[in-house]
A and B are shown apart, each in its own frame.
Chain A
Amino acid sequence: GENVEQHPSTLSVQEGDSAVIKCTYSDSASNYFPWYKQELGKRPQLIIDIRSNVGEKKDQRIAVTLNKTAKHFSLHITETQPEDSAVYFCAATSYSGGGADGLTFGKGTHLIIQP
């Protein structure tokens, strides 16, 4: 099955700086890679995703890059703000013809924005 590794487990950055979280996956058949943000005591919320036919996707201050050859993908947050403080999870799965086995999640990164 798929295995997703996520680093670092904790990341502390100064407000206004950039943050980068990295994930690797093991199954070359995986073709969908979402990122979720989870605030304390809340449900995970999808913030951005990327499919394997795209190398990069951006949404305002958030971007995700994918390197299929190396089997890794990264989340980039620029101009960090206090409300970016949360736990971020990467995930991977294989969608084909409408089938899906469920997302495999990384263990999460606790992002701390220092004022």
Chain B
Amino acid sequence: NAGVTQTPKFRILKIGQSMTLQCAQDMNHNYMYWYRQDPGMGLKLIYYSVGAGITDKGEVPNGYNVSRSTTEDFPLRLELAAPSQTSVYFCASSYPRQGRDYGYTFGSGTRLTVV
């Protein structure tokens, strides 16, 4: 049981390049989330998904896209990378049901630098 796995751990992109951040969970969680964390700041929600085939925008979705073709995987796509997207990206999952633990399980993060 690996929990939430994110790849890569580190990446440097040039302005205008694109990349996909991978996130996979093996806990059969139906909810998955992408957050970004800028230095000295809290986490801001980019996109989330409540199940396969369903995605919704969070607080800061511009410049990103997601898909959820399976319960396990929730990749985040950056198109035309900009310096403002330099951040640490965290994927998380949860399984909120009545009477159960609502807490998130976070991945280890991807540190992205756009130069």
Contact = CB atoms under 8 A, between A and B. Distances in A.
Interface of A: 1, 4, 6, 32, 34, 42-46, 49, 51, 89, 95, 98-108
B102 A102 contact: no
A102 B107 contact: no
A49 B41 contact: no
Given A46-B104, A98-B98, A89 B42 contact: yes
A108 B56 CA distance: 25
A100 B102 CA distance: 10
Contacts of A105: 35, 42-44
B90 A43 contact: yes
Contact of A99 (B50, B58, B104): B50
Given A99-B50, A100-B94, A100-B96, A106 B104 contact: no
Contact of B109 (A43, A100, A107): A43
B67 to A, nearest CB: 17
Range of interface residues on B (Cβ < 8 Å): 20 to 34
Contacts of A6: 42
B31 A103 contact: no
Contacts of B31: 100
A104 B102 contact: no
30 contacts: A4-B42, A6-B42, A34-B104, A43-B90, A43-B107, A43-B108, A44-B43, A44-B104, A44-B106, A46-B103, A89-B42, A95-B96, A98-B96, A98-B98, A100-B31, A100-B50, A100-B96, A101-B56, A102-B33, A102-B58, A103-B33, A103-B43, A103-B45, A103-B104, A105-B35, A105-B43, A107-B41, A107-B42, A108-B40, A108-B42
